[in-house]
Amino acid sequence: MNEAIVNFIIWAFLATVTTLILLHLSKRDEKKKTLIPAMLVILTMGYLMGYAVSNGNLPLAFSVFLVGGIMLNLYYASMKRRGYVLEDERTLRIEEISARRTLQVFMIGLAFAVIYLSVAQQRNPALRDAFILAESLLVFLFFTHLAFKIYYSRVM
């Protein structure tokens, strides 16, 4: 019980400091004030997921993840209805480019891991499962990317 109190105090401290920092920054930029509820939801999610994981409670961890995601989605939807512009064409384009580069870097890194593990698993058979996992992830990412590319080329 003592550990739960200490963890709650740490969470409350982080939530307070984050709120104060965002309030200070919002003096110059009103848009930053809209981030306060979202940051509090994210900090609460982190606290509750940490609690769930440390206790081995998988259903609670997934529930916290789902409920937090729904809450964030509803909050941003309400902000959009109020007229706050949270994203425009420029930010969407930046997101597209960064997502593409992230995918490229991840797939290249995964390809190097597959190459390394394909050789290393011959000397150490315990690495076979890691090789199969990395290879499966690479193939899955490739085909998922290809499927979305075909889909959006038809839709757009």
pLDDT tens figures, 98-122: 999 999 999 999 999 999 999 999 9
| Number of domain units in the chain | 2
29-55 burial, b if ≥16 CB within 10 A, otherwise e?
eeebebbbbebebebebebbbebbeee
Give the domain-ending residue among 82, 114, 142. Answer: 82
Give the domain-ending residue among 82, 98, 120. Answer: 82
Contact criterion met (CB below 8 Å) for 34 and 75: no
For residue 89, pLDDT beyond 90? no
Range of the domain at 138: 89-153
For residue 7, pLDDT beyond 70? yes
Does 102 lie in the same domain as 77? no
CA dist., res. 99 & res. 107, Å (int)? 12
For residue 63, pLDDT beyond 70? yes
pTM of the predicted model, to two decimals? 0.63
For residue 48, pLDDT beyond 90? no
Q: Which residue in the block uniquely carries the two structure tokens 């940051």?
A: 39
**Phi and psi based region of residue 84 (left: phi greater than 0; alpha: psi -120 to 50; beta: remaining):** beta
CA dist., res. 142 & res. 139, Å (int)? 5
Residue 139's pLDDT is 94
Q: Give the mean pLDDT of 119-148.
A: 93
Does 100 lie in the same domain as 125? yes
**Phi and psi based region of residue 61 (left: phi greater than 0; alpha: psi -120 to 50; beta: remaining):** alpha
CA dist., res. 23 & res. 5, Å (int)? 27
Output 53 or 32, whichever has higher pLDDT: 53
Burial of 66 (0-12, 13-18, 19+ CB in 10 A): exposed
Percent residues over pLDDT 70 in the chain:
96
CA dist., res. 63 & res. 69, Å (int)? 10
Contacts of 138 (CB under 8 A, 6+ apart): 107, 110, 111, 114
Does 74 lie in the same domain as 103? no
Does 95 lie in the same domain as 65? no
Residue 52 structure tokens: 């769930």
Residue 144's pLDDT is 93
For residue 85, pLDDT beyond 90? no
Give the domain-ending residue among 65, 82, 99. Answer: 82
Residue 1's pLDDT is 58
